[in-house]
Amino acid sequence: MGGSGLRRRRLRQSGHLPRQVRPDGDDRPGQQRAGAGLRAGPGGQALPPQRLEDHRHRAQPRRGGPDARGRSGAGRGGRRRHRHQARGRRGRRADGVRALSQHRERAGAGAGRVGARHRPGRTVLHHHAPRQHRDAPQRALLALAQPPPLRADALPQVAGGPGRVRRAAGHARPERHRRALRPQHVDPVPGAVAARPSHRDLRGERAARGRLPPQPLRAGRRRLPDAPSPAGLLQRVRLHRHQGRAVTAGLITGGQPEAGCEGWRFGTKAETLDRLGPLITEAQVPPLRYFQVRRWRQEREQVLDELLAAAWADAPLIVRSSTLHEDDPDHGQAGRYDSISGVRGRAALARAVDEVIDSYGRSEPVDDLGAHQVLVQPQVEPVRLSGVMFTCDPNTRAPYLVINYEESGDSAAVTSGSAVPTTTFYGWKESRRPLADARLERLAVLAREIEAVTGHDCLDIEFAFDHDGTLHLLQVRPLPVAPLEAGQAQELQHALQACYDKVAGAVAHPTLLGGRAVYGVMPDWNPAEIIGVRPRPLALSLYRRLITDQVWADQRHRYGYRDVRGCPLMVDFMGLPYIDVRASFNSLVPADLPEHLAGRLVDFYLDRLAENPALHDKVEFAVVHSCYTFSTPDQVRERLGERFGADERQALVDSLRRLTNALLDPRHPARRQDQDALAELERRWDVVKSAGVEPVAEARWLLEDCGRLGTPAFAGFARLGFIAVELLRSLVAAGVFSERDVDQLMAGLDTVTNRMAHDQNRLEPGEFLRVYGHLRPGTYDIRSPRYDEAPELYFDWPQTRGAHPGEPGAPFRADAGQLRAVEELIRAHGLQVGAEDLVDFITTNIAARENSKFLFTRHLSEVLTRVQALGAKAGLDVDECSYLDIRVLEELYQGAGVPQSVVAAAAASGQAAYRQTQQLMFPPLITEPGELLAFHYPPSEPNYITHKTVTGPVEAAEGATSLEGKILLLPSGDPGFDWIFSHRIAGFVTQYGGANSHMAIRAHQFDVPAVIGAGEGLFQRLQRASLVRLDCANRRADVIR
């Protein structure tokens, strides 16, 4: 027996420490008494058993190690010091004995042993619980509460900064306790400190171990610590139960099912809210009553009496559905049933209950409705902000917090998919970056609290803020998603860290002007439109090889812009393509502009885009000045007036004028070079196809010619086409041409699109496909079939061939008055071109941009066909081929590896890497590293559900007769359109709705590709189409015809 135990026994034998006697006369030690461990709480109520640490083990310093004061207890000297210290404390021990006696008298029938813990100058009372009550579930939950690797600049962060621990006076944290709770990992963000438990977490932990008496819950909102302590949550549950407060008790049902952190389970909507109400601190659950349909049918008036007897029954009520399967992820009935709001009075309440029950009959047999429930609550009003929060990305289960919210005051706007504009926020859950919006930070803390209580990390949570800023919890249910594979979360964390470091380290640059790095998916060569935001590795590598590595910079340099050769235009963050906006802006500055002015311009452009992120898809129209038009002087003065002097503005205008005059001259060397390159490209086609080389060599040379001749010429004509469009727009702004004139000009252009529309009905199918068969909707996507591979997919051939639809529109001719007006503008602005030549420049180069693409894509399409055949020999289908990198073609051409092995290994590697590409989510415009961790998605950006690709005929859902295989158009994401899922539809598009709307949830559940909230422009464009392709992984909706 240890020394302290021996002293206690001697004190009892001498009468100085009386034996503990329970009211029932049982004076056995606590370990021998059945049911020991409960003690008296306020009012004599029994408090729950606590996890206590053995007193003997706490009181004795470890032999051979430091004691509480850091002194060694080893050896004779150490033992002598301990004896001396014990003697010095004996005088204080008597005070402790008297305090113990007084405490027993006050406590009365206190269960468990009471001991004294002596410290210099004070005595601390503590209770002992039997060992058998130190239950294992607490240990497991405590381990679950330890946070994964976190960083200080991530979301959400408790006030006081990361790692700061708030301690109550008189409660010092022992060093051994700090060692036990401190996360043992390296923080992923530079300069960060690992999040530590707050004082309240430590207090909950100590209370569970017996170091501190448990405290009753205090009223009012308290701030949740960084990592909610399951020990504290267990303590809270037990306190509620043993103080007579129900953890799960429906007033009208009268039931009290077992629940809590140890054995949490979801129930119906009402049951889940009722169980969560006493356990959460960051939000409040509105008061609720719920009852079974069976009881409503049998005791209707009594139920109404009980409902209206509630203190809150005079306020407007909401009657909500709460069926047995509504929130069950295996059944997926969420949003199917009615909820009636704004209910007042007995008659209205009865009608509302009947309406809700009637809605159950839509999908459940009427005779089986008795066990379903109806939930009644006071309506939250007025609402300031409301929405839905996912605690993981429902598409990929990546650990993102996805909050879709609106501020119109309609608490059902988000879930109903109405026309109310909504905002979508993404936040990496493992981050601790503080959020600018305190409301979002509170939601993030609430999400983590509910996850800790339920043990689920993929939840669908509905919420609302009222006018006082009170956060109300309206619904919680698990999301029907599969778990991440082992180690996948850590891989994503490392991938995100690498992207963060890349953006953070890109500020300085040895070649480019500008003091900041900005990345976007839409500026300049616009990868989001051309290859998508999540292209497969083959498409991404082809786009790099043919455009963004070198071709783009060579073209800009040849046309008179700054030399940025050697700087790639496009970077990728784990497969997500982004344009280096700083490189793009450098390449659009005239080469003859002074260096200091060029640098200031680039900084100004970058700042303007960062301050107006909505301009990211129109940088050359609203941010950068890259050519001279009749509107340029006014635009420069308007945009640059506050930051640049008159001389600097004039220098820019003069430089742009010189550059544009040079390019208007048809004898410009670069223009002639591009025309010659296209002629050489056509000649090389015949040479390579007739050479009789093996397929790998043929594909390699076709690709080489495409990148050396085809895409450089296409890049040049694309630049000229942009200048032509800008000049045309400035003529419209000057009143020379009307919008009708522009339509006539475009209709009369000799473009591939116009010729193909004419030839489709004029030529026989075979002849038509010989001319246009190499085209494919996804130019760089091997999964997109060529026209000649699946003509029935793209064309509805007329029954009778030879019907001539008429010649293409006649070329546009400006009248004499318009030409005079153009001539006057030319003289006033100092352009060196005639009026007719300017109109000819506009029409020729708009058409040349499209025609040059038609020529180089023949080579590119043939390369993809050869790669597909190469993959087939290795046992790969076309989808697996899309994971290849085009560099494998050069590897096979230059090396002697076995083609099948090389191709199969490359496809497997690309497919593994693409998993991370699918799961990471970044904003369309990145202006600083923190936006990789938390950002708002632009409101105009549609929400793409699943990562599938589907092509099908498009039709409005309302009035459609046959829906199988079709892509349906819905005006909103209202649950009333649930009937479409009873048909085998290919996909659907809604004009309005958010990522968390009802139809988005249903699309996730049925794994149906969908575009939610397409917006007015895209929706109207799809309405005019007959065949549409939805590429949800790449966030694209393309009109095929």
Residue 1003 and residue 1012 in contact, taking contact as beta carbons nearer than 8 Å? yes
Chain centroid to CA 866: 37
Whether the CB-CB separation of 930 and 433 falls below 8 Å is answered with yes
Angle between helices 199-209 and 230-242 (to 10 degrees): 60
Cis peptide bond prior to 213, omega within 30° of 0: no
CA dist., res. 811 & res. 440, Å (int): 57
Q: What is the CA radius of gyration of the chain?
A: 36
d(CA 608, CA 626): 15
Given the structure tokens 């300069």, which residue do they identify? 191
**Using H for helix, E for strand and C for coil, what is the string for 740-800?**
HHHHHHHHCCCCHHHHHHHHHHHCCHHHHHHHHCCCCCCCCCCCCCCCCCCHHHHCCCCCC
Q: How many CB atoms lie within 10 A of CB 747?
A: 14
Residues with Cβ within 8 Å of 634's Cβ and at least 6 positions away in sequence, in order, are none
CA torsion 840→842→846→848, rounded to 10°?
40
From 127, 472, 998, 1004, the catalytic residue: 998
Instruction: Please list the residues that pair with 284 across neighbouring strands.
Output: 472
SS3 helix, strand, coil % of the chain, rounded to 5?
45, 10, 40
Query: Which amino acid would we find at residue 485?
Result: E
For residue 119, the surrounding DSSP H or E stretch is strand 113-119
The answer to whether 986 touches 1006, Cβ cutoff 8 Å, is no
Cα distance between residue 764 and residue 220, in whole Å = 79
| d(C-alpha 416, C-alpha 419), whole Å | 9
Helix (H) or strand (E) segment spanning residue 987: strand 987-990
Per DSSP, the residues of 834-889 read -HHHHHHHHHHHHHHHHHHHHHHHHHHHHHHHHHHHHHHHTT--HHHHTT--THHH
Which residues, other chains included, contact 396 with Cβ-Cβ below 8 Å and sequence gap of 6+? Answer: 918, 919, 947
Per-residue tokens: 161: 């900064």
Residue 494: active-site member: no
Residues 46-63, buried b or exposed e (16+ Cβ, 10 A)? ebbbbbbbebeebebbee
> What φ, ψ does residue 817 adopt, rounded to 5°?
-65, -40
From the list 1015, 527, 611, 949, the residue with the least C-alpha distance to 780 is 527
Side-chain half-sphere of 1009: how many Cα atoms within 13 Å?
Answer: 21
Closest CA to 291 of 365, 362, 366, 369: 369
Question: Rounded to an integer, what distance in angstroms lies between the CA atom of residue 802 and that of residue 814?
Answer: 34
Task: Report residue 907 as tokens.
Answer: 């496809």
- Please state, in angstroms and rounded to a whole number, the distance separating the CA atoms of residues 218 and 709: 75
Is 728:812 a contact under the CB 8 Å cutoff? no
Identify the bridge partners of residue 373 per DSSP, sorted by sequence position: 292, 322
| Residue at token pair 């970044």 | 922
Nearest to 200 by CA among 225, 237, 172: 225
Catalytic residues: 998
